[in-house]
Structure 1
């Protein structure tokens, strides 16, 4: 009888290949190099004397051997993860609280599905979102009014742990007949005579101001705010101003031709998101699971993002 060389990482690799549809994206999801992931696959193929999937097909078409190993992965991994959670519960108690404070208005689009997935795995952890806008979300973490803050920057002066989530492109949104649609990309000066529509948050929390306009000394001719993303897009579509939003948040509107997007700068404007929490919270096993679930959920569902 053959001695098995299968490890948990091999099973996770196969599931990642199936769920992401490519070697490149699977490697990103697993935080591996493409070479390391290919080496894992080749090791299994050499061991079993058969290809696991067709290399030239996108998404990968798994062979009979690959499908059998996938079946094993789908059966075994949930059992392993459930056992690990049970061990953590026995060691640390069966209750806990995870209150989340969010500084970005668009975060709810991806946060709610991640919370739903986490709730199924850790039903004894009480989940809640701290309501309202908070200009200093990390302060709530330090005051024990929240366990986790979703933030867009790492502050080296804060005594918290940062768990990287993902980076994404922020695009400028224009009415379809706006004169600036003729530009390949927008620079700070293009906003000087425009009405800039944003969420009602301090400028230091707006990437377009913090990264582009303020360094160039540019102030838009007019400013307008709205709490709702859909209202912002309606204002843009009707020619009331321009806005900047994450590409993943507006891709559906762009696909329908509701508004037009242009890059900000020749290389694009990049935003980032992190989870911030105390060292004590970082040590909780369910926190690591929440970070992992969030990263995986976002990577599979949000277009154009890259894991940090």
Structure 2
């Protein structure tokens, strides 16, 4: 029966031309090499090696086996190496998703560096528009989620990235552009242009409108940031974007941004009682801020390439 050890023996014989030299490479005795060769020749009833030549040569049958060895052995070596890298967390697949649909501007340099440092790890991306992206993480459908929601879920851990301000995005000719601080009541008659995610997951809803118990007149969705900007610029509605995203388009003069008045408990109480304190006014000026996290499974925290990606994120500077 033909085995891997037989293929290795024949390639060693070809490389060194003698039983003794081949035995040294294989870390066995010359008699063991001779025995393997006889065993194989007897099993198939065909001669493989011309032993009397110096260096020894191969018969047509021996060359057939050598051709197989040249095809099979490199694959075996690659597979063994891959298994070793997998066992040490140096190879595998890293699947990412992001609830922040404008994050790839700052994430791309990190991904490029990761590819250079972890060339054996395949990077893959899942859509961030899933209604329950944390569930995808729990079910191992993804390995890392960029999110603003650090939900308390067993087995999920969060690495803080940076804080950003959510800014209201307007056409330069929009009537609200004359205001520097936007209240929830200012936009109740407006159409919100947003990404296609659940309304409760949008920063402007969760941290600005919902605390004031108010809502937009309508929500229109688009998956593309460029289309969102175009719709706002053509006065089809207003939007809310992270400050670093909106700044790029504001510099071009396509849109303007305004600060959203933070809706705090003090402010809600003041509205109910008709009393406005200095602390309330200060809170209004603070704006609406959100924390961005990288969520992963605790079970993957000891995987080397996951640790490598986390290390790169540690050096992240807010865009």
TM norm. shorter chain > 0.5: yes
Q: 1:185 aligns with which of 161, 181, 188?
A: 181
1:281 and 2:300 matched: yes
Structure 2 match to 1:56:
none
List aligned pairs for 1:295-306, cutoff 5 A.
295-299=314-318, 302=319
Structure 1 residues 223 and 133 mapped into 2: Cα distance closer, same or farther (>3 Å)? closer
List aligned pairs for 1:158-177, cutoff 5 A.
158-177=154-173
TM-score normalised over the length of structure 2: 0.63
Q: 2:209 aligns with which of 209, 213, 220?
A: 213
TM-score normalised over the length of structure 1: 0.65
Q: 1:291 aligns with which of 290, 296, 310?
A: 310
The offset of 1:204, in angstroms, is 1.7
Counterpart Cα distance in 1 of 2:154 and 2:260? 30
The offset of 1:216, in angstroms, is 0.7
Structure 2 match to 1:147:
143
Counterpart Cα distance in 2 of 1:90 and 1:140? 23
Deviations for 1:3-50, whole angstroms, at most 9, x for unmatched residues? xxxxxxxxxxxxxxxxxxxxxxxxxxxxxxxxxxxxxxxxxxxxxxxx
Flag structure 2 segments of 5+ consecutive residues without an equivalent: 1-83, 262-284
Counterpart Cα distance in 1 of 2:86 and 2:253? 53
Deviations for 1:224-251, whole angstroms, at most 9, x for unmatched residues? 1111111111111111111100111121
Paired residue secondary structure (2:103): helix
Flag structure 1 segments of 5+ consecutive residues without an equivalent: 1-87, 303-308
The offset of 1:297, in angstroms, is 4.4
Q: Which has the higher contact order (CA 8 A, sep 6+)?
A: 1
Structure 2 match to 1:251:
247
The offset of 1:113, in angstroms, is 2.3
Counterpart Cα distance in 2 of 1:257 and 1:181? 13
Aligned pairs, number: 213
Structure 1 residues 298 and 264 mapped into 2: Cα distance closer, same or farther (>3 Å)? same
Q: For the Cα contact (< 8 Å) 1:165–1:291, is it kept in 2?
A: no
Structure 2 match to 1:106:
102
Structure 1 residues 162 and 234 mapped into 2: Cα distance closer, same or farther (>3 Å)? same
Paired residue secondary structure (1:114): helix
Structure 1 match to 2:73:
none
Structure number with larger C-alpha Rg: 2
Deviations for 1:93-116, whole angstroms, at most 9, x for unmatched residues? 542221112222212222222111
Structure 1 match to 2:152:
156
State the Cα RMSD in Å.
Answer: 2.0
1:268 and 2:264 matched: no
List aligned pairs for 1:2-21, cutoff 5 A.
none
Paired residue secondary structure (1:105): coil
Structure 2 match to 1:130:
126
